[in-house]
Amino acid sequence: MRAPMAVKRAAILHLLLHLVFFHVAALAGKRPIAMVRRRQGQHLLQEKATLLELKRSLTLLSPSAPLLADWNESNPDSCGFTRVTCDWRRQHVTKLALNDMNISGTIPPLIANLTRLRSLDMSSNFLTGQIPAELSNLRWLGVLNLGRNQLSGGIPPSLSALANLFYLRLRENRLSGPIPAAIFKNCTDLGLVDFANNNLSGEIPRDTDTSGDFCAYSVFVLNLFSNRLTGKLPRWLANCTYLYLLDVENNRLADELPTNIISGKQQLVYLHLSNNDRFLSHDGNTNLEPFFAAVSNCSQILEIEAGALGIGGLLPSLLGSMLPPNMSHLNLELNKIEGPIPADIGDVINITLMNLSSNQLNGTVPASICALPKLERLSLSNNNLTGEIPACIGNATRLGELDLSGNALSGSIPSGIGTQLENLYLQSNRLSGAIPATRLAECIRLLHLDLSDNRLTGEIPDKVSGTGIVSLNLSCNRISGELPRGLGDMQLVQVIDLSWNNFTGPISPQLAVGCPELEVLDLSHNSLRGDLPLSLDLLKDLQNLDVSDNSLTGQIPVNLTKCTSLKHVNLSYNNFIGDVPTTGIFASFTYLSYIGNPGLCGSVVRRNCQRHPQWYQSRKYLVVMSVCAAVLAFVLTILCAVSFWKIRDRLAAMREDMFRGRRSGGSSPVVKYKYPRVTYQELVEATEEFSTDRLVGTGSYGRVYRGTLRDGTMVAVKVLQLQSGNSTRSFNRECQVLKRIRHRNLMRIITACSLADFKALVLPFMANGSLERCLYAGPPAELSLVQRVNICSDIAEGMAYLHHHSPVKVIHCDLKPSNVLINDDMTALVSDFGISRLVMSVSGVSNTADVGASTANMLCGSIGYIPPEYGYGSNPTTKGDVYSFGVLVMEMVTKKKPTDDMFDAGLSLHKWVKSHYHGQAHAVVDQVLAGMVLDQTPEVRRMWDVAIGELLELGILCTQESASTRPTMIDAADDLDRLKRYLGGDTTVTFASSLGFSSTIVEDIDD
């Protein structure tokens, strides 16, 4: 019994000790709990004050209700504020969602007082200013979304202190500067990074940019779309196992296709690389297979955007099996991809968009495309595809856009073409036959239909023209018949272009009544008859009306003045009669809108409108007029005979005096040169009323016609388009230049005709036309290498005269092949001085002179030939002409225009030639030119290789970015002269000139 009692006592003692312990602990804990509660209350008051101050810094745009009405002092609990979230114990603000509130203002730094904030979303507002660096104090912050605002400045590097950050979205702002590398190093949980649509520059941070471990491998979304980033893709992306989206479109990156980065990425869905400076495929931009092999292992990928990168090579023959079947979007436009489209492309059964346009693809359109059940957009435009459009194309039942334009497709348009089409572009092919009426009429969604520049025949079906089309272009075909009645039922149409066809009959008044949205109406170059409908005045939005080259009659409707939007009217070459209106919108149209209408009269066409009384028609009047005309003719004959005899005697006397060496007043007889006078009427006669048959060229300021003067001289009449604001200044400038220069390689002026509403230059006619025409004419008129060198030398001599030997220095400002003319013996003459600058030297200082009208607002060149410094606001200089000359020289060798579609996304003619100059020059030389030398002897081949190398080097040197490093035109002319002598057999010629040409080129070839 004693043992159990001892146990009971011990248990009771133990229980008492526990009770005492808890009682003491409770007494001891009362003060700390109270202190904690007081501190929590102070913290809540501080957060409330911060929120109220934040509200005061913001403004609600277009308020329909008070901004954050319950954010006020009377509300005791800040955790109850709208768009505020606190933790479960309501002790701290953890989430602030002020997105999509239409508010403006700046982000106050005091927001950093919300120290327990885990999510801050102020996106889709109108916030300005910079991102506060103080946000780095929000150490618990995991989500930061400030996208779609107007924030400026840089991304604060202090954000790298946010160790818990996993969602960072700053897209669609005005942020600039580099991306802080420390963010990718320190924010170890960073998963989503979205900086799209800003002005960020520099390189994407790489692991070599920071010391220590690079901790960006958790990134699964990297969106840097539309910035100004340069360099290469960072290689740490290859370690991002869960990469879901990579978007670097619209930047300035230059790299190889990211095969290693995407390899094995099972989570990758979106890969967007388009529109960067220059990407290359493997093996020197010739092999696409490794890239698509890596894509085949990305089983979840849906979209590949790789357009305008400059990548080259052949599409893999098994491309269809290499692309994951779930892929829906493939864009490879604007590249250098060659060869045929793989036949198994139809295996990608889920694809909705396929864009292979603007490449160098050949072969036919594979019929397997018809088997793509989900295909919505197919673009194969601007390639070299041949054959017919697959008849089964209608099997692609979801096809909404079909673009096969700019190829060499033949045959007819398939009668089974898809009925869901919204956009159909088949222009610039060789299609023939009639337009398939029934199937196209079923395309109730059709908005844009362009079948222009083909060989289509037949008539336009009423059903086609009666659909809800917005734009209809059937120009440059052989379509005949009358304009369909359905043309007047197109309620939504904005553009109708039926020019250059064989339409007959009248223009229906219903056309204007039923097309209220019409902006462009072009019916030119047909055989339409009848009057212009008076109902055209109903087209309030009409901007362009062209009915030229038809057989229209009647008077010009004066009520067209109601079309206040009308900017361009061309009624030329018809049979209109009566007065030309001059009021309202007609006040801005010149005679060019009416030429070729002999029945028109008025001040615009400089033809008086005679009002003949009835008695003019009487018999008596006719008899009197006949007698008077006979008498007048007799008198004029006598006067002409007498004048002829006197002039003959005078000329004989002058010849006798000159032969005997007689002196008049002690000086030799001097013949003073004067420009012959020519009237507007003489030019009208010389060009057959400026007939289109006499039109030999058009330019930015007017047209050039071939004419024959009364003395039989063949001339070129350059008529200025006075609608252009700069045309008068261009005319004055060209006259000022041409009267000052004399050189065998510069165009001379015969005379000029200047009236208030008509201005023309009369120049010698060049039967060979422009250098552009000769260069791109094609066989059998291909220019040989010797001819090309001679032409370049002629141009250089002419430009050297303008820059260094002319009485007044001339800066041409628009040197290009279309402004160089070739005469009968293939001599080149520089022409078109419409925007030239004259440089006067005053006390040894050269000043650009604006002789005549100011040219301050005139363009300084043509796209592709303009030197880079002009784009930064520099004044025109002779070194700018040197740049244009360098582009021209490279174009002569490569037969590639600087505006060729291949030169995009940062690639230029200069960069392309320079990248192939060392060891790969054959890749840029015109293939026709290269073929001319194949049958020559080895010695001639060596000479041609040297000549081509020298021309390419000259082009590269003349087009250097820095103007100061370019040679002068004298230097260029000297070296081209040596090159001409070298090709002529002078083996003593060297090329180590002031241009810096290296003679090692010759040595390498000789070796």
d(Cα 116, Cα 126) in Å, to the nearest integer?
A: 26
Segment (H or E) for 891: helix 878-894
Task: Specify the residue for token string 């295996």.
Answer: 347
924 contacts 916 by C-beta, under 8 angstroms: yes
Q: Which two tokens stand for residue 973?
A: 């002319």
Point out the catalytic residue in the list 194, 207, 450, 814. Answer: 814
Nearest to 429 by CA among 387, 392, 379, 393: 387
d(Cα 414, Cα 877) in Å, to the nearest integer?
A: 56
Task: Specify the residue for token string 């279309």.
Answer: 818
* Phi, psi values for residue 219, rounded to 5°: -65, 130
Q: Is residue 926 flagged as an active site residue? A: no
Segment (H or E) for 82: none
What is the residue type of 104? S
Q: Are strands 448-450 and 423-425 parallel, antiparallel or unpaired?
A: parallel
Which residues, listed in sequence order, are joined to residue 936 by a DSSP beta bridge?
none
233 contacts 255 by C-beta, under 8 angstroms: yes
Question: Residue 30, annotated ligand binder?
Answer: no
Q: Which two tokens stand for residue 429?
A: 């092919």
d(Cα 614, Cα 618) in Å, to the nearest integer?
A: 8
Q: How many CA atoms lie within 13 A of 487 on its CB side?
A: 23
Nearest to 740 by CA among 797, 843, 809: 809
* Phi, psi values for residue 644, rounded to 5°: -60, -45
d(Cα 966, Cα 737) in Å, to the nearest integer?
A: 25
d(Cα 765, Cα 708) in Å, to the nearest integer?
A: 10
Q: Which two tokens stand for residue 349?
A: 């059964």
Residue 130 CB contacts under 8 Å (≥ 6 apart), including other chains: 106, 151, 152, 153, 154, 156
Alpha carbon distance, N-terminus to C-terminus of the chain: 123
Which residues, listed in sequence order, are joined to residue 496 by a DSSP beta bridge?
472, 521
Alpha-carbon dihedral sign for residues 634, 640, 646, 648: negative
Within its chain, how far is the Cα of 272 from the centroid?
21
Annotated binding-site members: 718
Residues that constitute the known binding site for ATP: 718
- Catalytic positions, written as ranges: 814
